[in-house]
Amino acid sequence: MVTYHDPNDPFLILLAPPLDETPEQCKAREAEEEAARKVSLRIDEELKAEKAAIKKKKNGVKVLVLGQSESGKSTIIKNFQLAYAYQAWLDERASWRSVIYLNLIRSVNHILEILALEMSNQDSSRHGPSPATARSLAHLRHSEESETDVSDDETFVAQPPFAFTGKHKLLKLSLAPLRGVQKDLEVQIGAGASEPEDLSIWYDCTDAAPFAEVERLAARPSNPRRPNEFFIRSNCGWKETLNKLRPRLSTSPDHPNPPQKGKQNSVVEILVGCSANIKSLWTDEVVQAVLKRRNMRLEESSGFFLDDVSRIAARNYEPSDDDVLRARLRTVGVQEYKFKIEKGSEIGRDWYMFDVGGVRTSRAAWFPFFEDCNAIIFMAPISCFDETLEEDHRVNRIKDSILLWKAICSSKLLSKVQFILFLNKCDLLGAKLKRGTSKIQDYFPDFANEHIDVKTIAAYFRHEFKRILKNSTSSPIRPMFAHMTSVTNTKTTAATLTSVRDTIVHNTLLNADFI
């Protein structure tokens, strides 16, 4: 093609070098033009790569991990990361240190709070309680009763007194600085550091599946918007949180310790100083008796690290894989994870996994992610048959899971999606059954099996979930794959992951490794 340049073209005149340009000026101008050309080329390449990435994403597998809060969604994703993206896992591992410190310090402060109340209760039973103490005790007693379903007030009052000594007072005093450290860490970590509060006592804000209403609205013929136009994607998941906490090297010789690092150092120093006393508090017989009488099993609660205090409250502490898996950081918003399949016929295939916040008030935001989704991993923690939701103490946790599952099964957008059910926290269910403090029939009266063990309970719930799926209007003949899991156990979970990966990738909807 031949191009003709019009010598009167105003653009050419504008871009033409000045007539009196010196050889040096000419050289500088050409260098500038070359640099601008390189920037332009780089932008073109970036745009091309972005387009290719979008195209590739369309060919990838998209998996949503759903379930109520503390069901184990983030933990199963950590397992996937451990199995399929180990380098990313390693890069992130050190950033979990502050979260683990917070988990540990929270447990200590929780014990101190209980201890203070019990001690003042004992004092006041000699002199009569102050109004403030009486109110606090009434509150604690109320929450304890609703958790354990103990309604006999007499049993609580008629217990023998605890043998508190000067040692307990000293422990309380020496560990007092940890309250401030907890506050600092909560500020540093941000939204994920807090646990949800029960707002239902103030207003009726909770619905198990608010996304169902959004789906109904979006499906109206008068509404031309696509599902993902309804919500803004959140950018405050734990990936962003961990990025904030990532240890950074200082680039300035004048400030070898950036402020973040200085704060972290002081947390470590306080913790190291408190290590022996934390251990002494946790292993103290009277403290253990107080916790037992209050039916508090910290060792079975999220983010429990008290047994590891000597290892964690040390200057050279580095989180292990297991620590990271057990660490508790609440998911806020929606977080995308990308993995590449490393083995088998699907090698190289990209997986996109979406981790969501599970509290009831977060669930409407799940809806935009239903579109184009290939599979849903649904986490149902079956050890929680006698527990209630943090965000609404009126609601039994398994009953909430069932309502949630019902809504997911009825979603038209999800009618062609594979469902994989994780009956999770089987280890905690086993421990609960062994203790024999709760009876499943008290919460699920139609449980009829005379053998009460982890397997029969899991089979009962699996049957219940399957029945709901079968009766759902959206797709009555959809198969369901169920697994009994304890996802903090990486060894047993690894085998389940392989099976889940193959199930999803090959879309084999015929058989499952059912209980």
Query: Which residue ranges make up the site for Mg ion (CB under 5 A)?
Result: 73-74, 331
Cβ(394)–Cβ(455) under 8 Å?
no
The enclosing H or E element of 362 equals none
Q: Is 79 in the site for ligand GTP (CB under 6 A)?
A: no
> What's the chain's length in residues?
515
Cβ(389)–Cβ(360) under 8 Å?
yes
User: Minimum distance from CB of 267 to Mg ion (Å)?
Assistant: 23
Q: Is 74 in the site for ligand GTP (CB under 6 A)?
A: yes
Question: According to CB under 6 A, which one of 62, 106, 168, 330 is a site residue for ligand GTP?
Answer: 330
Comparison of 67 and 267: residue with beta carbon closer to Mg ion? 67
User: Minimum distance from CB of 357 to ligand GTP (Å)?
Assistant: 5
User: Binding marks (x or -) toward ligand GTP, 360..379, rule CB under 6 A?
Assistant: -------------------x
Comparison of 427 and 502: residue with beta carbon closer to ligand GTP? 427
At residue 507, φ and ψ (nearest 5 deg) are 55, 40
Check the annotation: does 425 bind a ligand.
Answer: yes
Q: Is 69 in the site for ligand GTP (CB under 6 A)?
A: yes
Comparison of 118 and 391: residue with beta carbon closer to Mg ion? 391
Among 68-76, 149-157, 168-176, 219-227, which window interacts with ligand GTP (CB under 6 A)?
A: 68-76
* CA–centroid distance for 70 within its chain: 7
Q: How far apart are the first and last CA of the chain?
A: 72
Residue 397: CB partners within 8 Å, gap ≥ 6?
A: 68, 381, 384, 385, 387, 388, 389
At residue 253, φ and ψ (nearest 5 deg) are -65, -25
Sheet order of strands, 375-381 included: 334-340, 350-356, 61-67, 375-381, 418-424, 480-484
CA–CA distance, 485 with 430 (Å, rounded to integer): 12
Which residue has its beta carbon closest to ligand GTP? 358
Check the annotation: does 327 bind a ligand.
Answer: yes
Cβ(107)–Cβ(178) under 8 Å?
no
Q: Is 198 in the site for ligand GTP (CB under 6 A)?
A: no
370: nearest Cα among 417, 330, 329, 331: 417
Cβ(480)–Cβ(469) under 8 Å?
yes
User: Binding marks (x or -) toward ligand GTP, 410..439, rule CB under 6 A?
Assistant: --------------xx-xx-----------
User: Minimum distance from CB of 154 to ligand GTP (Å)?
Assistant: 34
Q: Is 488 in the site for ligand GTP (CB under 6 A)?
A: yes
What does 95 interact with, of Mg ion, ligand GTP, none (CB < 5 to 8 A by kind)? none
Question: Which residues participate in the annotated binding site for Mg(2+)?
Answer: 331
Residues that bind ligand GTP (CB under 6 A): 67, 69-75, 302-303, 326, 328, 330-331, 357-358, 379, 424-425, 427-428, 486-488
